[in-house]
Amino acid sequence: MRIVNVVGARPNFVKMAPLISAMRRHSGIRPTLVHTGQHYDGPMSQQFFEELELQSPDFNVGVGSGSHAMQTAEVMRRLEPILDTLRPDLVLVVGDVNSTLAAALTAVKLHIPVAHVEAGLRSFDRAMPEEINRLLTDAISDVLFITEESGRENLLREGIAPEKIHFVGNVMIDALEAFRERWERSSIVGRLGLNDGDPYVVLTLHRPSNVDDPLSLTNFLDAFHELARQIPIVFPVHPRVKQQLLRQGYLFRTMPDSREPLHRKGIAYLDALGYLDFVALMSRARLVFTDSGGVQEETTFLGIPCLTLRDTTERPATVTHGTNRVIGTEPARIVDEALRCLDEPPRRNGPPPLWDGQAAKRIVGILVNDHTAAAAAA
Ligand code: UD1
């Protein structure tokens, strides 16, 4: 069974690593990996491949950055001849980035079946580019793997046939478990000048709605500077946000840097971190602020309190089963919510069902069974 797996952006690499590893362990599967090149900087791409032991891509079509239409169209234009030549039995896509939708659309137009891992999540906010990518990818996928039960309800409501939907757990949690020994050994906390057990907060921000407008970004940061008078904040910065912050005169530390350790207060602006350092940093934090989907899931699994800087989440299991609270984007709430959360951390209810590190194995089992059944019927 030949499967073409497509990745493009940072969270895709994390989700794909356990899948490729499970496919490689199965003698009946020949996995091919295509990188669209949506993310291309070393710390956004190559470092993830190395740390997650992800095979070098068989094809890197190098689309790079651009408007949504350009990026999506370029992935389609460059992927089509590859799929047309390889004619795989299946194209597998993960997550909700532009590359996910572009690859699914290219495959389906060539009559190649599509599997979507992390299907069915809905924020019900169509202003989010990812929501459009999720809706459209799910509508044209043949096999839909969901991470939580809300996904099934959403897909059924949208008219997806129940037999296409499989509840398998969460491959992002597979990666967290598979690489636990390595991230537990990361020295990131010491490299920041903190001692083991020192309290700190982690912040990530990259949603266009939060960072593209310089004024709302400044308002956020003013609130975080106020909070940082009480507890240090570590802020690994996405390249686009960095460009914007540099324009506004914010200074960055280059890692590792032992000359200027993180003081007991203040914000440390860091370049984007690799996977192992970032998970290690999150796992020892008192509190994480984020607008990322993956971080809401990882903190839930790690039992670290998470405050989500958005009005909605497409991952309700992180609230019902996890440590996540969706607090909106009003800067005035940031300090209050943080202090309340530090005083009285939310109790965890245990990880959501099937978030047990075995999702990739289940997915591969289902794909092989379906393929064998289809071959027998033909
Ligand atoms: C993309 C995904 C988002 C995901 C995020 C993870 C879409 C619509 N968005 O957002 O869902 O959560 O990845 O990081 O697919 N840039 C670099 N170097 C890189 C990559 C990007 O400098 O390696 C800069 C460029 O200026 C680029 C900007 O970041 O224009 C945005 O990159 P892009 O891939 O368009 O979207 P992200 O914000 O990264």
Are 274 and 51 in contact by the 8 Å Cβ rule? The answer is yes
* pLDDT band at residue 246 under the 50/70/90 scheme: confident
- The alpha carbon of 64 and the centre of ligand 1 are apart by a number of angstroms equal to 9
How large is the angle between the packed helices 68-86 and 98-109, nearest 10 degrees? 40
What is the separation of C-alpha 40 from the centre of its chain, rounded to a whole number of angstroms? Answer: 16
Nearest-angstrom CA–CA distance, 139 and 119: 10
β-bridge mates for residue 32, sequence order: 4
Nearest CA to ligand 1 atom 2: 97
206 included as an active-site residue: yes
Give the number of other CB atoms < 10 A from CB of residue 368: 15
Predicted confidence (pLDDT) at residue 235 exceeds the cutoff of 60:
yes
| Lowest model confidence (mean pLDDT) among 81-95, 162-176, 236-250, 299-313 | 236-250
Q: pTM for this one?
A: 0.96
Find out whether the beta carbon of 346 lies less than 6 Å from any atom of ligand 1. no
Q: What's the average model confidence in pLDDT over 316-339?
A: 95
- The alpha carbon of 200 and the centre of ligand 1 are apart by a number of angstroms equal to 27
- Residues shown for the chain: 378
Predicted confidence (pLDDT) at residue 188 exceeds the cutoff of 90:
yes
* pLDDT band at residue 250 under the 50/70/90 scheme: confident
Atom of ligand 1 nearest to the CA of 96: 11
- The alpha carbon of 40 and the centre of ligand 1 are apart by a number of angstroms equal to 9
How does the average pLDDT of the chain come out, rounded?
94
Q: How far apart, in Å, are the Cα atoms of 205 and each of 65, 128, 281?
A: 19, 15, 16
Predicted confidence (pLDDT) at residue 240 exceeds the cutoff of 70:
yes
Nearest CA to ligand 1 atom 32: 65
Find out whether the beta carbon of 97 lies less than 6 Å from any atom of ligand 1. yes
Find out whether the beta carbon of 291 lies less than 6 Å from any atom of ligand 1. no
Q: What's the average model confidence in pLDDT over 186-207?
A: 93
Find out whether the beta carbon of 44 lies less than 6 Å from any atom of ligand 1. yes
Find out whether the beta carbon of 275 lies less than 6 Å from any atom of ligand 1. no
Select which of 35, 39, 166, 206 is catalytic: 206
pLDDT at 141: 98
Tokens of 16: 């794909």
Find out whether the beta carbon of 70 lies less than 6 Å from any atom of ligand 1. no
Nearest-angstrom CA–CA distance, 283 and 276: 11
Find out whether the beta carbon of 328 lies less than 6 Å from any atom of ligand 1. no
- The alpha carbon of 320 and the centre of ligand 1 are apart by a number of angstroms equal to 29
pLDDT at 230: 92
pLDDT at 100: 98
Q: What's the average model confidence in pLDDT over 4-27?
A: 97
pLDDT at 350: 79
Atom of ligand 1 nearest to the CA of 98: 15
Across 91-123, b (16+ Cβ under 10 Å) vs e yields bbbbbbbbbbbbbbbbbbeeebbbbbbbbbbbb
pLDDT tens digits along 24-80: 999 999 999 999 999 999 999 999 999 999 999 999 999 999 999 999 999 999 999
- The alpha carbon of 39 and the centre of ligand 1 are apart by a number of angstroms equal to 6
pLDDT at 276: 98
Predicted confidence (pLDDT) at residue 257 exceeds the cutoff of 70:
no
The DSSP code for 212 is S
pLDDT tens digits along 275-292: 999 999 999 999 999 999
Interior CA angle at 21 toward 15 and 22, to 5°?
Answer: 95
pLDDT at 2: 97
**Share of residues in the chain with pLDDT > 90 (%):** 85
Predicted confidence (pLDDT) at residue 14 exceeds the cutoff of 70:
yes
Find out whether the beta carbon of 132 lies less than 6 Å from any atom of ligand 1. no
pLDDT at 255: 57
Are 197 and 294 in contact by the 8 Å Cβ rule? The answer is no
pLDDT at 24: 97
Is the previous residue joined to 256 through a cis bond, with omega within 30 degrees of 0? Answer: yes
* pLDDT band at residue 311 under the 50/70/90 scheme: very high
Predicted confidence (pLDDT) at residue 336 exceeds the cutoff of 70:
yes
| Lowest model confidence (mean pLDDT) among 125-129, 264-268, 311-315 | 264-268
pLDDT at 261: 56
pLDDT at 189: 92
* pLDDT band at residue 193 under the 50/70/90 scheme: confident
Spatial neighbors of 132 by CB under 8 A, at least 6 apart, are 101, 126
